[in-house]
């Protein structure tokens, strides 16, 4: 069975600090997709990134970067120079079976608070 673990329940940083959110997953499939979503205080879920299991290149998008390492089954998310607006709950998710949405498993989320 697939599983996503976000061991950090809550993280608090001061603005402009860098912060890394950890995500460790378990799966028996060789083909799968990994996702990160952001849930700000307003409640909506915002898609951030999707990565398939064949693409281990790290990705950078502005202040956001993602480090995918199959060897350690991790898909970590780093925010550089954090801002107050980054305060949110961040969810990592895994989808097996060629990315079947009905098998999308979410981690329990990490609450990030960025203090001014």
Partner 1 sequence: NAGVTQTPKFQVLKTGQSMTLQCAQDMNHNSMYWYRQDPGMGLRLIYYSASEGTTDKGEVPNGYNVSRLNKREFSLRLESAAPSQTSVYFCASSEAETGAGNTIYFGEGSWLTVV
* Site residues, partner 1 (CB under 8 A): 4, 33, 35, 37, 42-47, 50, 52, 91, 93, 95, 97-102, 104-109
Nearer to partner 1, 28 or 102 (CB): 102
Nearer to partner 1, 33 or 77 (CB): 33
Task: Please report how close the Cβ of residue 62 comes to partner 1 at its closest, in angstroms.
Answer: 19
User: What span, in angstroms and rounded, lies between the C-alpha atoms of 101 and 57?
Assistant: 23
Task: Please report how close the Cβ of residue 13 comes to partner 1 at its closest, in angstroms.
Answer: 22
Residues 92-104 as b/e (b if ≥16 CB within 10 A, e otherwise) read: bbbbbeebeeebe
Count of beta carbons in the 10 Å neighbourhood of residue 116: 7
């Amino acid at each position: 069975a697939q599983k996503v673990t976000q061991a950090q329940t809550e993280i608090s940083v001061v603005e402009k600090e860098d912060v890394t959110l950890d995500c460790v997953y378990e799966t028996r499939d060789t083909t799968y997709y990994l996702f990160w979503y952001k849930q700000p205080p307003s409640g909506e879920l915002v898609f951030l990134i999707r990565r398939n299991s064949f693409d281990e290149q790290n990705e950078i998008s502005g202040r956001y970067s993602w480090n995918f390492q199959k060897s350690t089954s991790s898909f970590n998310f780093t925010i550089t120079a954090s801002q107050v607006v980054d305060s949110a709950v961040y969810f990592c998710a895994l989808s097996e079976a060629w990315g079947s949405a009905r098998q999308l498993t979410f981690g329990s989320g990490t609450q990030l608070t960025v203090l001014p």
